[in-house]
Chains A and B, each alone.
Chain A
Amino acid sequence: MTKHELTDAELERMLADLRLDTGPDDLMARVLADAAAEQPKTAHIIPLAVRRRAPRRFAGQLRAQLGGWAGLGGLAAACAAGVWIGFAPPQGLPDPAELMSLADSEIEYMDTQLLAAIEAESLAEDG
């Protein structure tokens, strides 16, 4: 250190004296005005729990329209019954698989008397 140079302690004391501890009121007002202007854009944030559920909202609405879980259960049972009837029709109902094997043109020109005659003939053959 030269004779006229400041010591470390003197320099550090001078620097510490430069510290400002208060800001002007009008600056604070400007900063808070900024905060108020920005806040509405951020205040609509959806809480975490709600945000996680958001993608399910449409499914929930659909379920409600169909009558809740009970309605969905009935719908599922009806669908299953329909599928089963399709594969194994009860006695008295035509078998859809056999119907599909007949040509549309044949069905079109068959009248009930002809069907009765065919049925009687086949019964006689079986008997």
Chain B
Amino acid sequence: MNDSPNIATARAVRDSSRADPVPSDDVLLAQFARGDDRAAKELAARHLPRVLSVAVRVLGDRAEAEDVAQEALLRLWRIAPDWEPDRAKVSTWLYRVAMNLCIDRKRRARGGTVDIDAVPEPMDPAPGAPEAMQAKARQAALDAALQALPDRQRQAVVLRHIEGLANPQIAEIMGLGVEAVESLTARGKRGLKAALAGRRGELGFDDDQA
């Protein structure tokens, strides 16, 4: 049976008083809607880094990703009074909003076509550079390869292998079945391997292991 938002929110607040030292996201959201500004800080601390991380890897642009993360959280504040705890997890809802915002920005930016030339080239490791330089080069190469993937494959790979989410949650975020998510992830990884093939040494891996 589905409760009304008010009943579900009242239940969430009631449950919060029952010896739960770490309030759930639902409880925090209900507290925010009732005027508790500390709840906003806790919710932002929990979710902002994750939403930003996903947006950075999906968009490949830090400034745009920050805008997306801010917009996703803004939508959370606005929906707080009508939040239905039983319908979705806050994290899943936020990821889904962020993914949709990323898709919108990608579409607008390229006008319906994939602009592979816009993907930044991986950095050349400077001679004698320490490990940090190699790590940066590795990240840049992987970022570039990620940006060259089709949108849905990139989203699935980011959510699965960078954020470490389970396939059922990714399926919910992307509005797909679990099998479709598995297929997208597998194809995405094959695409990344193909894009990075022949660069094992550059990426810091020993060729003899291959």
Contacts A19-B162, A43-B35, A48-B6 given; does A31 touch B48 at CB 8 Å = yes
A39 contacts which chain B residues (CB < 8 A)?
Answer: 32, 35, 37, 40, 77
| Interchain CB contact under 8 A, A30 and B70 | yes
Interface size class of A (residues with CB under 8 A): 35 or more
A30 contacts which chain B residues (CB < 8 A)?
Answer: 70
| Interchain CB contact under 8 A, B6 and A19 | no
The verdict on A6 contacting chain B, using a C-beta distance below 8 Å, is yes
| Interchain CB contact under 8 A, A20 and B49 | yes
Distance in angstroms between the alpha carbons of A27 and B200 in the assembled complex: 36
The verdict on A53 contacting chain B, using a C-beta distance below 8 Å, is no
The verdict on B178 contacting chain A, using a C-beta distance below 8 Å, is no
Contacts A18-B162, A27-B66, A48-B7 given; does A36 touch B57 at CB 8 Å = no
| 9-residue interface stretch from B113-121, B169-177, B188-196 | B188-196
Dominant secondary structure of chain B at its interface with chain A: helix
Interface size class of B (residues with CB under 8 A): 35 or more
Considering only CB atoms, which chain A residue lies closest to B33 in the complex? Answer: A42
B139 contacts which chain A residues (CB < 8 A)?
Answer: 14, 17-18
Q: Which of the residues B78, B189, B197 comes within 8 Å of A2, measured between beta carbons? A: B197
Q: Which of the residues A23, A45, A48 comes within 8 Å of B81, measured between beta carbons? A: A45
The verdict on A104 contacting chain B, using a C-beta distance below 8 Å, is no
Q: Which of the residues B44, B143, B196 comes within 8 Å of A35, measured between beta carbons? A: B44
| Interchain CB contact under 8 A, B48 and A19 | no
Distance in angstroms between the alpha carbons of A4 and B210 in the assembled complex: 6
A36 contacts which chain B residues (CB < 8 A)?
Answer: 37, 40
Distance in angstroms between the alpha carbons of A3 and B48 in the assembled complex: 40
Distance in angstroms between the alpha carbons of A78 and B14 in the assembled complex: 48
B66 contacts which chain A residues (CB < 8 A)?
Answer: 23-24, 27
B53 to chain A minimum Cβ distance, whole angstroms, is 4
| Interchain CB contact under 8 A, B52 and A5 | no
B59 to chain A minimum Cβ distance, whole angstroms, is 13
The 6 closest A-B pairs by CB, nearest first: A43-B35, A35-B40, A15-B161, A20-B53, A38-B77, A4-B198
30 sampled A-B residue pairs with Cβ under 8 A: A1-B193, A1-B210, A4-B198, A4-B210, A5-B196, A6-B200, A6-B210, A11-B192, A11-B193, A12-B161, A15-B157, A17-B139, A18-B162, A19-B53, A19-B162, A19-B163, A19-B164, A21-B53, A23-B49, A23-B52, A31-B44, A31-B69, A31-B70, A34-B74, A38-B78, A39-B35, A42-B32, A42-B33, A42-B80, A45-B33
